[in-house]
């Protein structure tokens, strides 16, 4: 299990001297999953995705851009700027352990960024966009990734701003990319996904519980540091639930009643797992909570996306 955790970039990983395994650990493959799912949701929300070879290949390229390349860039640059705090919270990670030189880390950051932007430009060419929408989304997302981790802004120093930036990057941005690739990104769906990203803020808080000690020592104002672990767990659960329920209201408002019922049925188990794991001891049970509850959240995203794809929200205004 420790070897698998090493490859996925998870806490409790084993050590290695293999440079490619270290590079992969810096990219944290476990974090790619929400972005991959976000692209799928965006394609579904476009209402235009077809099971054709060119569409499948374009979707795969968009997933490659969003997950391994740009999420990998985000995680690597985050580790680069977090090397002091990781020395406290996760000293086994490649940079604080000294397993990989900083020069190699900088090279990886640039290769992933330029490759991701290159793929985004190619996707715009394939889609025939007169305005390079996917490229601009990739560029904007990369900028957010940079200011999230790097001084002087370092958004992650503020629990609200940093976690919302993270939530939007994991929900809204890949959704927008998938929808723009196969259809039209509208103001309606853009605003809806930004609201959905507030549920992502709640999920991002879950990741902060394991880092409380280092965050407090280095003055980072994460929500568990500011409000305490118990209050922060309630804030996390509340954000996740309230903004998913807001999506239920939206689905009812656009006439997608069956999808609204399905979404409610997917929210109920999340609330149950919050009571079992998150609200009892988020430090000890954060991984168990995410493993049990998040599949229902991402299925709810797909239900919402499919409903949006058959609604007036996909019409350009």
pTM of the model: 0.90
- Say yes or no to pLDDT of 20 above 70: yes
What residues are paired with 158 via a beta bridge? 221
Return the pLDDT at 220: 82
Q: Are 27 and 69 in contact (CB under 8 A)?
A: no
Which of these ranges, 1-5, 164-168, 188-192, 224-228, has the smallest mean pLDDT? 1-5
Which of helix, strand or coil describes residue 193?
helix
pLDDT score of 316 more than 70 = no
Give per-residue pLDDT as tens, 24-43.
999 999 889 889 999 999 99
> What is residue 317's predicted lDDT score, i.e. its pLDDT?
45
Q: How far apart are CA 47 and CA 63, in angstroms?
A: 18
Does 220 or 130 have the greater pLDDT score? Answer: 130
pLDDT, position 217: 82
Can you say how many angstroms the Cα of residue 317 is from the centroid of all Cα atoms in its chain? 28
Angle at 55 between CA 250 and CA 310, to 5 degrees: 20
pLDDT of residue 5: 54
Digit-coded pLDDT (tens) for 105-148: 999 999 999 999 999 999 999 999 999 999 999 999 999 999 99
Residue 280 CA from chain centroid, whole number: 25
Q: What angle do CA 275, 276, 281 make, to 5 degrees?
A: 90
Cβ atoms of 272 and 313 within 8 Å: the answer is no
- Residue found under tokens 């880390």: 105
Q: Can you tell me the distance from the alpha carbon of 77 to that of 302, in angstroms, rounded to the nearest whole number?
A: 29
The C-alpha atoms of residue 2 and residue 98 are separated, in whole angstroms, by 19
């Amino acid at each position: 299990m420790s070897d698998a955790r090493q490859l996925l970039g998870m806490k409790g990983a084993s050590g290695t001297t293999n440079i490619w395994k270290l590079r992969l650990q810096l990219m944290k493959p476990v974090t790619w999953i929400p972005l991959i799912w976000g692209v799928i949701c965006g394609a579904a929300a476009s209402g235009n995705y077809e099971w054709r070879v060119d569409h499948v290949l374009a979707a795969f390229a968009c997933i490659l851009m969003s997950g391994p390349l740009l999420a990998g860039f985000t995680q690597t640059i985050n580790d680069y700027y977090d090397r002091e705090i990781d020395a406290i919270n996760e000293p086994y990670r490649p940079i604080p352990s000294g397993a990989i030189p900083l020069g190699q880390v900088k090279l990886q950051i640039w290769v992933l960024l330029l490759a991701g932007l290159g793929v985004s430009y190619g996707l715009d060419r394939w889609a025939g966009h007169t305005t390079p929408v996917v490229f601009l989304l990739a560029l904007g997302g990369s900028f957010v990734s940079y200011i999230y981790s790097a001084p002087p802004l370092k958004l992650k120093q503020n629990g609200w701003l940093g976690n919302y930036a993270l939530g939007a990057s994991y929900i809204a941005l890949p959704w927008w990319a998938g929808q723009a690739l196969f259809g039209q990104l509208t103001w309606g769906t853009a605003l809806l996904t930004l609201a959905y990203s507030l549920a992502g803020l709640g999920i991002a808080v879950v990741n902060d519980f394991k880092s409380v000690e280092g965050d407090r020592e280095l003055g980072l104002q994460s929500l568990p540091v500011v409000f305490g672990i118990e209050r922060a767990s309630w804030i996390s659960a509340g954000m996740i639930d309230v903004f998913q329920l807001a999506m239920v209201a939206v689905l009812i408002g656009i006439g997608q009643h069956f999808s609204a019922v399905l979404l409610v049925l997917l929210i109920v188990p999340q609330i149950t797992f919050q009571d079992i794991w998150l609200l009892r001891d988020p430090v000890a049970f954060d991984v168990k909570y995410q493993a049990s509850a998040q599949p229902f959240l991402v299925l709810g995203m797909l239900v919402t996306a499919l409903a949006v794809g058959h609604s007036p929200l996909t019409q350009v205004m």
